[in-house]
Structure 1
């Protein structure tokens, strides 16, 4: 695919950097993916110097000759973090070569992204990364909603409800809070959230990117989650706790082989779980910060 391009503006040096990074990401060599990224980068680079070669006369001394920039560009394809290349690329040149301007950098980044989107495999990777990032934002937004309405943020004293403001994620505009009103927000990757605040109860209905709905009611004063409805039977889930975090644990026998287990953990977390005679969860009540993973079907303390 790359015959005639490998010996390009920077020779084989960039190709070697990309190859090393892909091996680091995936644990083995992926020549096809390596070629696709390299071809997009090489074509975008050639286009850049064709457009601005009279200003940046020495490619080997330009900002694109920096290995850190090449590594950042390759990282932008993968899922680790969301990279803003316009902000994070090092604009400096070498050997008195001029720093790239924001306008010219924008031209390069736009050209590179366009070329990557035209490649089926790279486009699929970038789209999946976008979905993962949007799902993360959706979950973070739910957490922020709960922090605001429960007063469990950096503010020691929660504001009065009359002063609460929420953000419309579609427009970015602030919208007034109204008690008892349902707020419904949707994301392009299929994630949805419906939440309502009434009295001391925050109700959240959430659909993840796999189409699974879960529902929770959070008590503002107690900080506890009640009336939980998971996408799978609660008996399929396991409570996962680090034994070193347990301060107290009490087990109380019930009828028919059922039993109740109560725990107090470090950092103000508590749990009360009822198990059947096969050690399957039948009912639970937790407070102080917990998370649920529907993929592994586990309930565990939330690491703040």
Structure 2
């Protein structure tokens, strides 16, 4: 998005110009954002301080919570600032940074979900070898691979995007710097970049979804072979939180790629973006906490420690 026409800033059009609706949107986004940061930060703290939460599953959950905080913080605070001050302008460099970080965190999230599904596969299908296979070194390498693969996928399209020219308009029809609305206002030939973005998006989606589906095919087959209903229920409960989060993440992504009419396409994309950047990061800590006894126990222990310290 290099500027050949003295372009120094963009205007983010947001969701609406209605002042009353903007107040409702501000409240609607602020509360989930605060809950999201608080909830995910609580999970990170619990997995760091509680000795019972030192397994691979909670290591990945810790990284996933960090990703959720980073992803929602890359979008929502800037939009809240825009609503509260009325300042919709964003500098060129800030827009590029926001686009880079939101894409990196979003893509890394898909790879991490796929890695977490592999972790569940090992836990259910190879329980006797779980601690050996999913040791701390392997977990760190898997997370590192998630980040490196993400960067390799993101950097080429972003680098090509730095050469775009903007002639007529600098108004982005979105509440954040997103690739599609930026490409729409460019006067450069964006066909190659658009195809590359589509190919990279579909590749990430298909590859990670395939990993998740294959993992759960083996998991379901193993669970169905367990002799007692109690064992099957216990095994399924260890995967239920991950299944819900995967369903929300992939479901919203599929919804974006269902081709609406041209008139409604951007409005639908904005709505799904609100869901993925605000609501999903808020729900995930509650999904994992409410359905996980170990996390709830660790939380209760941490609260009791805090109360004892406050009394002393």
Q: TM-score, normalised by structure 1?
A: 0.25
* Higher RCO, Cα 8 Å, sep 6+: 2
- Decide which structure has greater strand share: 1
Larger Rg: 1
